[in-house]
Structure 1
C-alpha cells in the first residue's frame, strides 16, 4: 500500500512538472549518476521560469547531490530567483532541505531515501548564469542532518557485501547532542572486532574520541555524543558476513526525558508543521510509586489510510512504560482528540512517527503525576485526576 502511494506521488509530480517553451527544463533522472543545470547554462537563464528535476535511484539507497557552479539573483529571503531542494517527491515544507540563491553554492546534500526533487524558479526581472549540479546513487554513508533517522548496513536486512566501508556523519543543531540506538546487530564475530565492525566516534572525524566498536551479536547500549556531531563507521573484510545492523539516531529535541511531577511538551516546531521522516520519543519518568496522567490539548496529524482505516502514515503512540515493548495505551492520527491516558506505573512513553510526505501541525500535551498511596498531596492529586 505504501509503495502504491509513493508511485502515485511520483506520477503526479511528473505530470505537473512545468516546462519552458523551447528550453530543456526539468525531468526525471534515474541513472546511477548524472548532471543537470539551469536552462541556457552557462549563459543567462530565462525570466519567469520554473523547472523541476526528480531524481530517483534504487530503493534502499540515497541520492548524493553536489553543486559545481551557482549564480542566482540574490535576495535575503530568496524570494525572487531560487533553488529549493526537497528530501523526496513532495513539496511539503517538512521535506524541504533548503532554499538557496545568490552566489554561495549550496552544501552537499544526501537524501534520507531514494528520491530527491529540485525546483528552480526565476521571476520576471534580473537573470544570472544559473547553476550546474551532479548527482549519484550513494549506497553507503553521507551527512545526516534531520531530527531523527535510520542508519543501516548496505543491503540490510540481507547480508552486507564484503570489502565495504561506509561513513555516516550525524549533525544535530549546535549546542545539542546526538543519541544513537541500535535495534539490530548481526555481524562476523571476533574478540577484538578487527574484521567486520561498526565503530562510533565522538565527533565528525576518525581523529575524534573513539567511543566504541561492535561486532558479532552484541547488543550495544545507547550512545550519546558530547557534542552535536557523531561519526558512525561500518567496515567489512574479504570474507564471512551477516545481516549487519540497524540503528536510529535522534537529536536532543527529538529524544526528551521528563522527571518533574508535572509538565508539558509538543511535537517539533509546533504549532508550525512538524518535519517529515522523523521518529521522536518523549519519556516521562517519575519516582517509584507514582502514576502519570496525560491530557491532550491538540492533535493534528496526517489522516488515516483510506484503504485500511488505520494510522499507517503519521501517528502518535503511547506506551505504558519506558520503551516500545510496553503495553500500547493508544495510537492516534488525523484530528482525533484522545481522552486522557493513565499509566499503571511510574513511566510512560510517547512516540511520534512521521513518514516522507504530508505534514500537519502536530500535537501538544500536559501531564501530571501522583502517588498511588493516599496522603495530603495525593488527595489533591486525586482531585485533579477525577475533575480534569
Structure 2
C-alpha cells in the first residue's frame, strides 16, 4: 500500500517590534509599516502606562483597516482594553482609560491589507471627564457633567437605545 504524505506549512508574519510597552506621559504609535500597508497575520499588543493617579486620553489620527461590509463585522481590527472591535475607515472618537494603563490590540487576518492606524496619547492628571462605554454596555461619565451628551461610534446599521428606569410604586387594593 502506498501512502501519500501531505505537509501543510502555515507562515505567520511576525513583524519585529510588533508588541510594545510604552511608559511615557505622551507619545505616538502605529500599526506595523504605517503609513504603508500592514502585513497579514499580525497580532500586536501596545501597552501604554502613564504615572499612577493619571488616566490616558487616546486619539487616533488615521484609521484604515479591513472590514466585512456584508456582516458589518471586522476582518482586521483594533480593540482597546478588551472592548469592541473597531475597523473600517472612520477615525474613532478619542478614548479615555479608567486607570493609568491601556492595552491596544491590533489584529490582521490572512487576506487583504490596508494602511492601518496611527494614534497619539496623553496623560490626564486627576479624574476622567470623558464618557466611557464599559464591557457591560453601560455609559458612565465619572466626575463629569451629567448633561453632556456621549458620542459612541456604531456601524450605520446599528442604533444605541438608552432606557432610563425610574422607580414607581403602584398601590393596589388587596383582592382577597
User: TM-score of the superposition, structure 1-length normalised?
Assistant: 0.34
Of residues 35, 44, 48 in structure 2, which corresponds to 1:42?
Answer: 35
User: Structure 2: which 5+ runs fail to align?
Assistant: 1-11, 134-138, 151-161
Of residues 121, 124, 132 in structure 2, which corresponds to 1:145?
Answer: 132
Instruction: Give the greater-gyration-radius structure (CA).
Output: 1
- Provide the aligned length of Structure 1 versus Structure 2: 146
Change (3 A) 1:33 1:20: farther
Distance 1:20 1:34 in 2: 26
SS in 2 for 1:99: coil
Runs of 4+ in 1 over 6 A off after TM superposition: none
Give the number of the structure with larger relative contact order, counting CA–CA contacts within 8 Å between residues 6 or more apart. 2
Of residues 103, 120, 145 in structure 2, which corresponds to 1:134?
Answer: 120
RMSD: 2.7
1:134-213, aligned counterparts within 5 Å?
Answer: 134-140=120-126, 142-146=129-133, 147-151=139-143, 168=144, 178=146, 202=147, 204=148
Change (3 A) 1:107 1:61: same
Task: Give the C-alpha shift of residue 257 in structure 1.
Answer: 3.1
The C-alpha deviation readout for 1:331-374, integer Å capped at 9, x for no partner, is: xxxxxxxxxxxxxxxxxxxxxxxxxxxxxxxxxxxxxxx8xxxx
Task: Give the C-alpha shift of residue 143 in structure 1.
Answer: 2.2
The C-alpha deviation readout for 1:291-333, integer Å capped at 9, x for no partner, is: xxxxxxxxxxxxxxxxxxxxxxxxxxxxxxxxxxxxxxxxxxx
Change (3 A) 1:252 1:57: farther
Distance 2:129 2:68 in 1: 30
Distance 1:26 1:103 in 2: 23
SS in 2 for 1:257: coil
**1:32 counterpart residue number:** 25
Task: Give the C-alpha shift of residue 119 in structure 1.
Answer: 0.9
Q: Which has the higher helix share?
A: 1
Counterpart contact for 2:14–2:42, Cα < 8 Å: no
Distance 1:122 1:106 in 2: 18
Counterpart contact for 1:20–1:50, Cα < 8 Å: no
Distance 1:20 1:52 in 2: 15
Distance 2:68 2:114 in 1: 13
User: TM-score of the superposition, structure 2-length normalised?
Assistant: 0.70
Of residues 61, 74, 79 in structure 1, which corresponds to 2:74?
Answer: 79
Distance 2:167 2:102 in 1: 36
**2:54 counterpart residue number:** 61
User: Structure 1: which 5+ runs fail to align?
Assistant: 1-18, 152-167, 171-177, 179-201, 205-227, 230-250, 262-286, 288-369, 371-375, 381-388
Q: Which has the higher strand share?
A: 1
**2:16 counterpart residue number:** 23
Counterpart contact for 2:130–2:141, Cα < 8 Å: no
Task: Give the C-alpha shift of residue 72 in structure 1.
Answer: 1.2
Distance 2:39 2:80 in 1: 20
1:244-255, aligned counterparts within 5 Å?
Answer: 253=164
